[in-house]
Amino acid sequence: MGITKTEIFTDEQNKLATLFKVLGHPARIAILYYIINQKACICNDLVDELGLAQATISQHLKELKNIGIIQGTIEGKSVCYCIEEKKWNEIQVYFNQFFNQDVNVKECC
C-alpha cells in the first residue's frame, strides 16, 4: 500500500477524513450508541452488551478516545467512559458543514 500524501490536502479535509475513518466501524458506532443511551458513564460492561472480546472493545475505545469523542477515567481496576460533549458538538459542526453543502446539479451523467 502506498503512503497517503496528507500534506496535499487541507487541514479540514484531513480532519474530516480521520473522523470518518474512526467512525466508519460499526462496533465504534455501537459503542457510541450504548454510551449515549446510558446517559451516564459506563464502566466495563460493553463486553456483555456488544458480544465482542474485551481486547477488541479496548482497541475501539482507544480509537474513539484518540479523536476525543469519548473520555475515560480510571477508578481502581475499572475504566469508565462517557461522551465528551464539547468534542461531540465540534464533530457535529464539521459533519454539518460537509453535508449541508449545496449539491444541486443541472445535468448528471
pTM score of the predicted model: 0.84
Dihedral sign computed on CA atoms, order 97, 27, 41, 76:
negative
**C-alpha closest to that of 61 among 77, 75, 45:** 45
Average pLDDT by stretches of 10, the chain with 109 residues: 75 93 96 91 82 90 94 77 95 94 83
